[in-house]
């Protein structure tokens, strides 16, 4: 298990401290570390392993993500929550593994599931990769430290530079970037 310091996670946690009793969505799936941390801050946590759902619905072939029936099955399985259900979301690096068609559908659904003023935390590789890259399950150790458990390699479906990220989150109120030493771009987005 690897660890990494995260200024973006620290900022996410600071924004959540402003209001107690929030509902947080975690794309990494349930983990005791994250559950303990989030509930210890007085919030509720809903976890779903979105990458596992992605593999279950589409397999490992990116072209399967363009099948409209599979897209709807995936969105229904992974994002079946009422509108404006969440005050925060831990997206991690999940969005990099979605093809543009699927990404657009997921972003629409994510925007609908978040309450106005909600905050999300996401990470993106700063360099374009056409080959498989290491994939991780993410856990919160503390407000500044992320635990990363390897899950094998995965091919990114999309690359996001700053301009692409601004376009991706154009329906949101604000986007804040944190560049890191390990070629990851951390992003805090407010709905």
- Please give the residue that has the higher pLDDT: either 83 or 126: 83
**CATH number of the domain within which 110 lies:** 3.40.50.150
Q: Which two three-digit tokens encode residue 44?
A: 């509720």
Structural element, H or E, at residue 113: helix 100-113
Overall average pLDDT of the 14-32 stretch: 92
Residues 6 or more apart from 181 whose CB is under 8 A from it?
A: none
Instruction: Please report the pLDDT score of residue 127 as a whole number.
Output: 78
pLDDT of residue 19: 85
Q: Residue 111 pLDDT more than 90?
A: yes
User: Looking at the predicted structure, is the pLDDT value of residue 17 above 90?
Assistant: no
Query: How much is the pLDDT for 168?
Result: 95
Q: Is a pLDDT exceeding 80 seen at residue 151?
A: yes
Confidence of residue 143 (pLDDT cuts 50, 70, 90): very high
pLDDT over threshold 80, residue 179: no
Look up the pTM and report it. Answer: 0.93
Report the pLDDT averaged over residues 170-179: 92
* Contact predicate 88/17, CB 8 Å: no
pLDDT at 183: 78
132 — pLDDT class (breaks 50, 70, 90): confident
Q: What is the 3-state secondary structure (H, E, C) of 25-61?
A: EECECCCHHHHHHHHHCCCEEEECEHHHHHHHHHCCC
Please write the tens of the pLDDT for every residue from 45-54.
Answer: 999 999 999 9
Range of the domain at 100: 2-190
CB of 139 closer than 8 Å to CB of 47: no
Mean per-residue pLDDT over the chain, rounded = 93
Number of domains in the chain: 1
């Amino acid at each position: 298990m690897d660890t990494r310091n995260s200024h973006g996670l620290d900022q996410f946690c600071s924004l959540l401290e402003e209001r107690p009793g929030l509902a947080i969505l975690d794309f990494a799936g349930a983990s005791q570390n994250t559950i303990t941390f989030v509930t210890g801050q007085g919030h509720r946590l809903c976890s779903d392993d979105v990458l596992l759902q992605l593999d279950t619905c589409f397999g490992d072939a990116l072209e399967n993500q363009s099948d409209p029936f599979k897209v709807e099955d995936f969105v229904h399985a992974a994002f079946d929550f009422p509108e404006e259900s969440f005050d925060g979301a831990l997206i991690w690096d999940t969005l990099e593994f979605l093809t543009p068609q699927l990404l657009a559908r997921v972003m629409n659904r994510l925007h609908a599931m978040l309450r106005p003023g909600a905050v999300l935390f996401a990470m993106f590789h700063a360099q374009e990769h056409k080959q498989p890259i290491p994939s991780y399950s993410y856990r919160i150790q503390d407000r500044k430290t992320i635990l990363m458990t390897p899950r094998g390699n995965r091919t990114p479906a999309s690359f996001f530079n700053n301009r692409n990220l601004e376009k991706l989150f154009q329906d949101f109120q604000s986007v804040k970037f944190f560049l890191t030493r390990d070629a990851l771009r951390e992003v805090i987005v407010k709905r």
